[in-house]
Amino acid sequence: MNKLKTFGLGLLISLFLTISSNAESIKIGTEGAYPPWNNTDASGKLVGFEIELGNELCKIIKQECTFVPQDWDGMIPALLMRKFDVIMAGMSITPERQKTITFSQGYATEPATLAVMKGSSLESMNTPDAINLNRSGSDVKKTLKTITESLAGKTVCTQTGTIHQNFLESGDVGKVNVRTYKTQDEVNLDLTSGRCDVALAAKASFVEFAEASGKAVVTVGPNLAGGAFGDGVGVGIRQGGDDTIGKRDAKLLKDFNKAIDKARKDGTISKLAIKWFGDDVSM
C-alpha cells in the first residue's frame, strides 16, 4: 500500500511539474517538413529558418520557447485546441485564415511557382518573370490565361490546405484537375514519378528538393504573389478574448509584432533569410 502511495505521489508531482513548466514557455507549432522554412534533420531535431527566427524572437520577448511538431493539415485546429500558443510554419496571411485566427505582421514572403520534370511541354511556357495578383493589369490577365491553357488537362499536385491549393481552386486559372497531398515531400515524390504533370508550391521548396535529391525538377512560369497567395508569412495566433488565455493571446500578438519590428531593424531576419534561402526573403 505504501509503495502505491509513493508511486501515486510521484506521479502527481511529475504531472504538476510538467504542467507548471509548460505554463512558463511559449509553445510554437511548426510542421518540420517544409524546407527551408522548417524541417526535421536526420536526428529528428527541428531545424530551419523559422526555428532560428522563432528562437531569436523569443529572446527579444524574453520568454522561453519550445517548438512543437504538428502535421500541416491539423495546424490551425491544433492551435485552436491550445496544443500550442502560436504557429510559425511558413503560413501565409490570408483573409480565409483570418476568419479563424489572427496573424502578426509578416516576417518573410516567398513567391509560389509551378514546377515540372525536365522535358515537360510546360517548359516552353512564355510568361513574365513575376506577377502580383493584387494588381489587375492586362499583363496579369494575359499571364493567367497562359497558365490556364498550360494547365488544361494536366494533373496539378499540391499540398492540402495551402495557399497553393486555394489558388488552383479559386477559378483564376480555370477548372484544374487538382490532386492534394498531406506533405510537400509526397508532392515532390509524385512529381518525379510522373503521376503529377505539374506541381505548385513555394519556389524554395522545389529548389531545395532538386538540390537534395538530384532529380531534374525545374520551375516554370512566373513567380506568383498576391491574391490567393496572401500577404506574406506571419506568426499565427489565436484571436484574443476576455478570459485569462484570451488576454495572454492578445499580449502574445503585441509581443511578436514588437519583436518582429526589432528583428527586422537590426537585420536579424534578413541575415537568417539569406542563410536559409540564399536570398533575402524578409519583409
Partner 1 sequence: MDFDLMITSLPKLLSAAVITLKLLSASLIIGLFIGFLFAVLRLNKNPFISKFAYGYSYLFRGTPLLVQIFIIYYGLGQIEWLRSTFLWVILKEPYWCAIIAFALNTGAYTSEILRSAFQTIKPGIIEAGKSLGISSKIILYKIQIPVAIRQSLPAYGNEIILMMKGTSLASTVTLMDITGVAKHIVSTTYKPLEVFLLAGGIYLFMTFIIHNVIKYLEKKYSFQ
# residues contacting partner 1 (CB under 8 A): 22
Q: Does 192 bind partner 1 (CB under 8 A)?
A: yes
Instruction: Choose, by CB under 8 A, the member of 74, 106, 226, 240 that binds partner 1.
Output: 74
DSSP structural state of residue 270: H
Own/partner contacts of 237-241, CB < 8 Å, gap of 24 or more, are 237/79, 237/85, 237/86, 237/87, 237/101, 237/102, 237/103, 237/104, 238/79, 238/80, 238/82, 238/85, 238/101, 238/102, 239/100, 239/101, 239/102, 240/102
Q: Does 214 bind partner 1 (CB under 8 A)?
A: no
Q: Does 171 bind partner 1 (CB under 8 A)?
A: no
Nearer to partner 1, 49 or 72 (CB): 72
Instruction: Choose, by CB under 8 A, the member of 11, 15, 80, 245 that binds partner 1.
Output: 80
Name which of 108, 120, 172, 111 is nearest 146 in CA terms: 172
Residue 202, classified by CB atoms within 10 Å of its CB into exposed (0-12), middle (13-18) or buried (19+), is: buried
3-state secondary structure of 175: coil
Stretch that binds partner 1, among 42-50, 58-66, 104-112, 177-185 (CB under 8 A): 177-185
Residue bearing cell 510568361: 127
Cα separation of 52 and 154, whole Å? 38
Stretch that binds partner 1, among 36-44, 122-130, 176-184, 261-269 (CB under 8 A): 176-184
Cα separation of 55 and 36, whole Å? 16
The Cα angle at residue 227 between residues 269 and 273, in degrees rounded to 5: 15
Instruction: Choose, by CB under 8 A, the member of 165, 205, 268, 282 that binds partner 1.
Output: 165
* Shortest Å distance, C-beta 34 to partner 1: 15
Stretch that binds partner 1, among 12-20, 191-199, 248-256, 267-275 (CB under 8 A): 191-199
Instruction: Choose, by CB under 8 A, the member of 24, 193, 242, 265 that binds partner 1.
Output: 193
Q: Does 156 bind partner 1 (CB under 8 A)?
A: no
Q: Does 189 bind partner 1 (CB under 8 A)?
A: yes
* Shortest Å distance, C-beta 143 to partner 1: 26
Residue bearing cell 510521484: 10
Q: Does 154 bind partner 1 (CB under 8 A)?
A: no
Q: Does 96 bind partner 1 (CB under 8 A)?
A: yes
Question: What is the contact surface with partner 1 in residues (CB under 8 A)?
Answer: 73-74, 76-77, 80, 96, 100, 157, 160-161, 165, 179-182, 186, 189-190, 192-195
